[in-house]
């Protein structure tokens, strides 16, 4: 089990490419802006990175363009399949305790299902911590 000096070392980690958009910001509905994102789950925090393609031309090297766009605390969050939130297939809806909502999408169902499972497990684990 996790000792006091190694918090969350038991939490699952995962990374991959995902399509995402924020849809609610602190309780306020905002316009969708789908973009591809290098998505990392680490220590109960989900980080969506900026799409390097959206960076202005001439912005240093590709590696330095991997910058966070949204960081999402999974403690107290909820996630599930989104119903009627998008015309796209395989869409997840992630709602944070702070009142933000994100849609996450990927055409390959097994990939998005794995993300759903790992986020649900993480949220459950954070409840008992």
Instruction: Choose between 27 and 58: whose C-beta lies nearer to ligand I3S.
Output: 27
At 15, list the tokens: 């990374």
Closest approach, Cβ 89 to ligand I3S, in A, equals 10
How many of the other CB atoms lie within 10 Å of CB of 22? 18
Nearest to 12 by CA among 128, 127, 115: 115
Asked if residue 84 binds ligand I3S (CB under 6 A), the reply is no
Closest approach, Cβ 12 to ligand I3S, in A, equals 28
Nearest to 49 by CA among 61, 62, 63, 36: 36
Exactly one of 5, 31, 53, 62 binds ligand I3S (CB under 6 A); that residue is 31
Exactly one of 9, 13, 34, 99 binds ligand I3S (CB under 6 A); that residue is 34
């Amino acid at each position: 089990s996790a000792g006091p000096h190694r918090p969350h070392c038991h939490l699952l980690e995962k990374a991959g490419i995902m399509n995402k958009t924020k849809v609610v910001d602190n309780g306020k509905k905002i316009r969708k802006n789908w973009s591809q994102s290098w998505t990392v789950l680490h220590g109960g925090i989900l980080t969506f990175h900026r799409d390097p393609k959206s960076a202005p031309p001439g912005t240093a090297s590709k590696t330095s363009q991997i910058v966070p766009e949204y960081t999402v605390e999974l403690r107290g969050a909820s996630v599930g399949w989104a119903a009627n939130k998008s015309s796209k297939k395989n869409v997840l809806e992630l709602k944070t305790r702070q009142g933000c909502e994100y849609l996450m999408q990927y055409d390959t169902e097994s990939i998005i299902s794995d993300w759903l499972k790992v986020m649900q497990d993480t949220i459950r684990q954070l409840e008992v911590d």
